[in-house]
Amino acid sequence: MAVGYDGTLYFYPGLGSRFGAGVAVSSGWGVITAFTGGVDYNGDKNPDLIARISDELYLYPGDGTGQFKSRVLIGSGWAGYLQIE
């Protein structure tokens, strides 16, 4: 996953030893300063995304179609970290 300069979120599928072409997932992600995803964090069997905006950490639950449900605040005080995994 990556966020483009225009705020578009892209998914890059793994193809064994390399990544495939990026596929635009959605727009409006330009405020994110770090993120990680592709894991089912909430137990619904869909890949989710965790993202930092300013010093707040949000869970973006995957909806099973490649899009995300409404975000949920899961923490604050994260501005001092360089990355999240």
| 54-67 pLDDT tens trace | 999 999 999 988 78
CA 79 to chain CA centroid, nearest Å: 17
The reported pLDDT for the residue numbered 41 is: 94
Q: Is 74 within 8 Å of 57 (Cβ atoms)?
A: yes
Assigned token pair, 26: 């959605």
Mean pLDDT, all residues of the chain: 89
pTM of the full structure: 0.80
